[in-house]
Amino acid sequence: MRAAHLATALIWLLAATLGAHADGWPSKTVRVIIPFGPGSATDVVPRVVLEQLQAQTGQPFVVENRGGAGGTIGTAQVAKAEPDGYTLLAHSSAHTITPALYPNLSYDVVKDFVSLGVIGSVPNVLIVAPSTGYTTVQEFVAAAKANPGSFNFASVGIGSAVHLSAERFRASAGYEAVHIPFKGGAEALTEVIAGRVTYYFCPISTALPHIKSGRLRALAVSSPTRAAALPDVPTTLEAGFPNSDYTVWIGFFAPAKTSPAVVSAFHGELRKALDNPGLKGRLTDIGVEPMPVTPAQFEAQVKQEVGTYAAFAKSIGMKVN
């Protein structure tokens, strides 16, 4: 009996110790891996939020860009990291198309990560150079159909969120186009502005300054509803192209087996940050739309998208060359 009481006391002591550790999160530097290079929406948006998290918690949030292989190199690092809440992943919805493109992944998108929370969605916008002469998405599609294979489009890599957005629209509209992947968004934008690439489904956060300056023209947005940053630009659904929408979200993940207490602590800090008026304004300015979901809802969405986009990738023959 005494041994049983002692065992129980030890269990409660261990639980209390773990709870105290989780309640004190973060107590040191948090490393956040972004599996793409600097300058993309997946890089810019988390950095804005992490600044606020650092101010709230008093602990450094250090970003490491670990690009390569469609984001799989940096993501694999987090999957193998200690699940203590001090190595996190910032990723976009491109995370859920990865299994369809890389069948020999060293990690499982669903099983090897726990979802921490979503920052928001960043609609992609279909942009062209004004020199193309297209003023509506309907004119654009009519020209693409009339000149099969003459259109090309930019992306920041096979399986990236902008690539998937472009492919969903192209499949819905029913025209052919040549995919040109670039190393980064800046290079892709330069080529579209110069007219050497026909179009680009670019994150609003990146395209907005060029749209406002008149260097680019916005024809449609990929989100299910109009984007607050471009209220006069129709959605691809409004324009008459069913199943052409694509929600690009950006969120945070931790390695599987990260304690529920740490997940709760991070999510609480994230919600506090997203409710901060200053941060709200900064995110609105770069085209980020609110997407309030719980970690459990986010996890369910990730699981559902993995299946959805695996089927889509197979239907159009999307694969890494």
Contact 53, 269 (CB under 8 A): yes
Does 232 map to a domain? no
Q: What per-residue confidence (pLDDT) applies to 321? A: 66
pLDDT interval class at 40 (50, 70, 90) = confident
Statement: residue 13 has pLDDT above 90: no
Residues 89 and 168 grouped into a single domain: no
Residues 211 and 129 in one domain: yes
Higher model confidence: residue 260 or residue 185? 260
Nearest to 54 by CA among 215, 282, 272, 223: 272
Those residues whose C-beta lies under 8 Å from the C-beta of residue 270, and which sit 6 or more positions away, are 49, 53, 116, 117, 119, 252
User: Both 101 and 132 in a single domain?
Assistant: no
Q: What CATH number corresponds to the domain at position 150?
A: 3.40.190.10
- The answer to the question of residue 233 being in a domain is no
Q: How far is CA 231 from the centre of its chain?
A: 22
- Whether residues 86 and 153 share a domain: the answer is no
- 216 CB-near residues (< 8 Å, 6+ apart): 127, 128, 129, 130, 189, 192, 193, 207, 210
In DSSP notation, 120-153 reads EE--EEEEE-GGG---SHHHHHHHHHHSTT--EE
Residue 239 lies in a domain: no
Confidence of residue 69 (pLDDT cuts 50, 70, 90): confident
Number of domains in the chain: 2
Residue 19 has pLDDT above 50, yes or no: no
Same domain, yes or no: 213 and 65: no
Per the model's pLDDT, the better-predicted residue between 14 and 241 turns out to be: 241
Residue 267 resides in a domain? yes
Is residue 242 assigned to a domain? Answer: no
**Is the domain of 7 the same as that of 107?**
yes
Distance of CA 52 to the CA centre of its chain: 19
| Section 137-151 average pLDDT | 96
Our CA angle for 80, 48, 271, nearest 5°, is 75
User: What is the pLDDT confidence band of residue 320, given thresholds at 50, 70 and 90?
Assistant: confident
Same domain, 135 and 217: yes
118 and 266, same domain (yes or no) = yes
- Domain encompassing residue 195: 124-221
pTM: predicted TM-score of the whole model, two decimal places: 0.86
User: HEC states along 241-298?
Assistant: CCCCCCCCEEEEEEECCCCHHHHHHHHHHHHHHHCCHHHHHHHHHCCCECCCCCHHHH
Q: Which two tokens stand for residue 285?
A: 């300015």
CATH code: domain of residue 93: 3.40.190.150
In a shared domain, residues 73 and 173 = no
Instruction: Give pLDDT, residue 160.
Output: 87
Note the pLDDT of residue 186. 87
Residue 31 has pLDDT above 80, yes or no: yes
Whether residue 31 lies inside any domain: the answer is yes
Is the predicted pLDDT of residue 115 greater than 90, yes or no?
Answer: yes
Q: Quick one: 11 and 153 in the same domain?
A: no
Q: Is the domain of 44 the same as that of 96?
A: yes
The answer to whether residue 159 is domain-embedded is: yes
Q: Kindly state whether residues 204 and 262 are assigned to the same domain.
A: no
Q: What is the pLDDT of residue 319?
A: 83
Q: Is the pLDDT of residue 25 over 60?
A: yes
pLDDT tens digit string along 222-270?
999 999 999 999 999 999 999 999 999 999 999 999 999 999 999 999 9
For helices 260-274 and 277-285, the axis angle rounded to 10 degrees is 80
| pLDDT above 90: residue 311 | yes
Average pLDDT, the chain: 91
Q: Is the pLDDT of residue 93 over 90?
A: yes
- Which residues, listed in sequence order, are joined to residue 120 by a DSSP beta bridge? 250
Question: Residue 157's pLDDT is what?
Answer: 85
Mean pLDDT of the 130-134 span: 97
pLDDT at 7 over 60: no
> Which residue's entry shows tokens 């929406």?
41
pLDDT for the residue 23: 58
pLDDT at 277 over 60: yes
Residue 12, pLDDT score = 38
pLDDT of residue 119: 97
Asked whether residue 197 is assigned to any structural domain, the reply reads: yes
